[in-house]
Amino acid sequence: MAQSVEAAVDGVAREHRARFLDTLYRQYASALLRFISRQNVSPEEAKEIVQETYCRLQQIPQVETLESPRGYLFRTAINLARDTKRQRRRRGDMSNGSDASAAEDVPSEAPTAYQVLKGQQELEIIRQAIAELNPTCRQVFVLHRFGNATYSQIAERLGVSVSMIEKHVSAALAHLKSRLDEAHS
């Protein structure tokens, strides 16, 4: 039973991650392309930079925990544009050796190694806390938080009242909060 719940949680998490990445792409890809096109790179290079930026974003284990996904995208794209221009200079494709851009002064909004590690540790605490819940409470919580099911949908599916679903979700959240509080103290 624990394995099937774990597999369900992992499947829902993967689906949530894919939706999150798709939303980020739809929200920022065209603005990112316009921004990078103004960084003294060719249109083809700009498209490649945007693609590589999103490839790198997908490699982040807990991408949903990024404090500023937009900042990460733009900072990564700026760095890739800078690398592209350096490579061009090394090949001798540029006539002007000084290619400083105002974008190089933008501070990185990417998470620090500490923030990434902290996020991974908190995620593990949450996974363990979910595994500690009684089976019904865990099922209700997973369906609601990861399956985006409403209280009434869950109540109908399990044949219980909506107030019972509210109690299960409330108990699960209280348990997760206490485990996180314990870890932080």
The backbone torsions φ and ψ at residue 94, rounded to the nearest 5 degrees and listed phi first, read -105, 135
The backbone torsions φ and ψ at residue 26, rounded to the nearest 5 degrees and listed phi first, read -60, -35
Hey, where are the domains in the chain? Answer: 2-111, 114-184
Residue matched to tokens 């009242």: 161
| pLDDT at residue 98 in the model | 45
pTM: 0.46
Per-residue pLDDT tens for 101-149?
444 555 566 777 778 888 888 889 999 999 999 999 999 999 998 888 9
| pLDDT at residue 62 in the model | 77
- Candidate CATH numbers 1.20.80, 1.10.1740, 1.25.40, 1.10.3470; the one for domain 2-111: 1.10.1740
- Candidate CATH numbers 3.40.605.10, 3.40.50.300, 1.20.950.20, 1.10.10.10; the one for domain 114-184: 1.10.10.10
Per-residue pLDDT tens for 48-93?
999 998 888 888 877 777 788 888 888 999 999 998 888 888 877 5
Exposure b/e, 9-40, CB count within 10 A at least 16 = b? beebeeeebeeebeebbeebeeebbebbbebb
Distances (CA, A) of 33 to 78, 101, 134, 177: 11, 16, 48, 41
Sort residue 119 into left (φ over 0), alpha (ψ -120 to 50) or beta.
Answer: alpha
